Amino acid sequence: MIQRDEIFLAVSGSARQASTNTALLNAIADAAPSGCRVEVYDRLAGLPVFCPDAEADPLPAPVADFVARVERCDGLIISSPEYVRALPGGLKNAIDWLVSRDEIVFKPVVLVHASHRGNDMLEQLRLVLSTVTRNFHPELFLRFDLMKRTPREIGEVLAEPEKRRAVEDFLQAFARFCKACRTEVSER
């Protein structure tokens, strides 16, 4: 069988221009080893507030674009700040748009995190994600202390050989998980 790249959609829970979470995802995309491709999605601020009445066809254009990206990817990587001991409203809003749809049900999902803080948010996000997909992998998790650093500094930190190796190992492990999930679905 011809091997193809695993494509990961990396969703940032922060809408901030100089977001550490978005910068971490960009650095992960830059470090992707052969066989993996990472597309960063940092447009949660463009999604309208979720309303079940608006789930009819056609979806609002930014939602349709987001859903199509989720459908196309082999797995989702999410990185988010903590706001008021919870996950940011924008990220929860995006997940709400997916919740009654087929695209998310078997989608492999993992978390990365750009801070030494934010454990309440991580706990909540784990609960939410394990509710919306059967293939959330809580143990596959990568965390760096990058709070208050600039995107440029984050690029430099992640370029350090040890960190780059950690990112490569993480992406390769996620690629194996995504393949295993596909095999399981195809054997159903």
Ligand X SMILES: Cc1cc2nc3c(=O)[nH]c(=O)nc-3n(C[C@H](O)[C@H](O)[C@H](O)COP(=O)(O)O)c2cc1C
* Per CB under 6 A, 21 contacts ligand X: yes
Sheet with 75-79, side-by-side order of all strands: 36-41, 6-12, 75-79, 109-113, 136-143
How far is 157 from 143, CA to CA, in rounded Å?
13
* Per CB under 6 A, 26 contacts ligand X: no
What minimum distance in Å lies between the beta carbon of 25 and ligand X? 10
* Per CB under 6 A, 75 contacts ligand X: no
Q: Which residues pair with 37 in a beta bridge?
A: 7
Query: Cβ(60)–Cβ(103) under 8 Å?
Result: no
Q: In the set 117, 152, 165, 176, which binds ligand X (CB under 6 A)?
A: 117
What minimum distance in Å lies between the beta carbon of 162 and ligand X? 22
Q: In the set 9, 11, 14, 125, which binds ligand X (CB under 6 A)?
A: 14
What minimum distance in Å lies between the beta carbon of 2 and ligand X? 38
Q: In the set 75, 81, 90, 108, which binds ligand X (CB under 6 A)?
A: 81
Q: In the set 16, 152, 165, 176, which binds ligand X (CB under 6 A)?
A: 16
Query: Cβ(147)–Cβ(115) under 8 Å?
Result: yes
Nearest to 123 by CA among 19, 113, 101: 113
Within 42-150, residue ranges assigned H as helices are 61-72, 89-98, 119-132
Q: In the set 8, 9, 10, 19, which binds ligand X (CB under 6 A)?
A: 19
- 3-class SS of residue 20: helix
What minimum distance in Å lies between the beta carbon of 49 and ligand X? 18
How far is 151 from 146, CA to CA, in rounded Å?
9
* Per CB under 6 A, 90 contacts ligand X: no
Omega prior to 52 cis, within 30 of 0: no
Question: In the range 125-184, which residues lie near ligand X by CB under 6 A?
Answer: 147
Count of residues that bind ligand X according to CB under 6 A:
15
Q: In the set 72, 85, 152, 165, which binds ligand X (CB under 6 A)?
A: 85
Binding stretches for ligand X (CB under 6 A): 14, 16, 19-21, 81-85, 114-115, 117-118, 147
